């Protein structure tokens, strides 16, 4: 077996600031990897580079044998449609707000070749159920949904095509605490059931503990510590990881 996604020697500078400073990363099939760190640590930049949204100054990103950084825009879009999924922090960035809930899910299916209207509608209804939205809301517009529902709809839209690798950028970021737990549990169950590989960017240590098999801790564009999730969180070695872990309030 080989890694699904493999990055080596990523460098990216914004003026004098190193956003990525020698980052290596592998994601294996079925593995959930969390990148944690505070704002400005470089974790969102890393996500953008790995998914081909931003070009690094140096380094390589290989997905399933394909050079992500060297491919043209059409090839990258094809990858994004068929093999990858992206869950944005703000559901408005991942949904089409003027299209019905069912349309949002069906659109992604059609982009991968589905054509039969009845099947697409049935699949959309099934996915609404899986993300705990009443299928009666199939024809409702996302703007009539609560924030938590919008985020669940974005997850349905992303997972309906069974992507092999899903990028998640602070998926619970903008939600009320009571809504976060439900969403985290839903993501946890779906990821296990579908055997997805996930790259999760979060500043929420508890979310990382719940979802991730492995954690990378980033600071100033560098991975300062990485390893098995419970080992990094329970026996942190780097001063910055110790600070992150001890800064979390226990409920």
Partner 1 sequence: MSFALRAENLGKSFTLHLQGGVTLPVLQALELTVAPGECVALSGPSGAGKSTLMRCLYGNYGAGSGRILIRHHDASVDLATADARLVREVRRDTLGYVSQFLRVIPRVPAIEIVAEPLMARGVARDAALARAEALLTRLNLPARLHHLPPATFSGGEQQRVNLARGFAPGYPVLLLDEPTASLDAANREVVIGLIAEAKARGAAIVGIFHDAEVRDRVADRLFDVAPLHEAA
Where does this chain bind partner 1 (CB under 8 A)?
Answer: 28, 31, 181-182, 184-185, 188, 210, 213-214, 227-228, 230-231, 234-235, 237-239, 242-243, 246
Write the secondary structure of 136-187 as one string of H (helix), E (strand) and C (coil). HHHHCCHHHCCHHHHHHHHHHHHHCCCCCEEEEECCCCCCCHHHHHHHHHHH
User: Between residues 66 and 237, which has the closer beta carbon with respect to partner 1?
Assistant: 237
Q: What is the tally of helices (H) and strands (E) in the chain?
A: 10, 10
* Shortest distance in whole angstroms from residue 103 CB to partner 1: 29
User: Between residues 67 and 234, which has the closer beta carbon with respect to partner 1?
Assistant: 234
Alpha-carbon gap, residue 32 to 64, rounded angstroms: 17
* Shortest distance in whole angstroms from residue 133 CB to partner 1: 16
User: Between residues 126 and 234, which has the closer beta carbon with respect to partner 1?
Assistant: 234
**Helix then strand then coil, % of the chain, to nearest 5:** 45, 25, 35
Residue whose token pair is 């059609």 = 110
User: Between residues 161 and 180, which has the closer beta carbon with respect to partner 1?
Assistant: 180
* Shortest distance in whole angstroms from residue 235 CB to partner 1: 4
Question: Exposed, middle or buried, 236 (CB in 10 Å: 0-12/13-18/19+)?
Answer: buried
Task: Identify the CA nearest to 216 among candidates 85, 16, 68, 27.
Answer: 27
User: Between residues 68 and 224, which has the closer beta carbon with respect to partner 1?
Assistant: 224
* Shortest distance in whole angstroms from residue 87 CB to partner 1: 19
Paired tokens of 173? 């970021």
User: Between residues 9 and 239, which has the closer beta carbon with respect to partner 1?
Assistant: 239
CB 203 within 8 A of CB 171: no
* Shortest distance in whole angstroms from residue 206 CB to partner 1: 10
* Shortest distance in whole angstroms from residue 34 CB to partner 1: 12
161 Cβ neighbours under 8 A, 6+ residues apart = 81, 82, 85, 108, 109, 111, 112
* Shortest distance in whole angstroms from residue 151 CB to partner 1: 16
User: Between residues 144 and 242, which has the closer beta carbon with respect to partner 1?
Assistant: 242
């Amino acid at each position: 077996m080989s890694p699904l996604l493999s990055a080596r020697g990523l460098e990216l500078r914004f003026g004098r600031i190193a956003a990525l400073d020698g980052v290596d990363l592998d994601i294996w099939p079925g593995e959930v990897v969390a990148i944690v760190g505070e704002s400005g640590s470089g974790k969102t930049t890393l996500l953008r580079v790995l998914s081909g949204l931003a070009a690094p100054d140096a380094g390589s990103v290989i997905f399933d044998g394909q050079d992500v950084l060297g491919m043209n825009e059409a090839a990258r879009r094809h990858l994004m449609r068929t093999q990858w999924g992206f869950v944005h922090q703000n559901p408005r960035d991942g949904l089409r707000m003027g299209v019905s809930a069912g349309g949002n899910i069906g659109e992604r299916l059609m982009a991968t070749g589905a054509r039969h209207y009845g099947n697409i509608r049935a699949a959309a209804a099934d996915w609404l159920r899986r993300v705990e939205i009443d299928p009666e809301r199939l024809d409702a517009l996302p703007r009539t949904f609560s924030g938590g529902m919008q985020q669940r709809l974005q997850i349905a839209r992303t997972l309906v095509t069974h992507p092999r690798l899903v990028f998640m950028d602070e998926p619970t970021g903008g939600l009320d605490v009571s809504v976060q737990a439900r969403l985290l549990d839903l993501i946890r169950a779906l990821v296990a059931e579908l055997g997805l590989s996930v790259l999760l960017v979060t500043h929420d240590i508890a979310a990382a503990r719940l979802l991730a098999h492995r954690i990378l801790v980033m600071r100033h564009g560098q991975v300062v510590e990485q390893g098995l999730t419970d080992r990094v969180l329970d026996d942190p070695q780097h001063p910055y990881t110790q600070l992150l872990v001890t800064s979390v309030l226990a409920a």
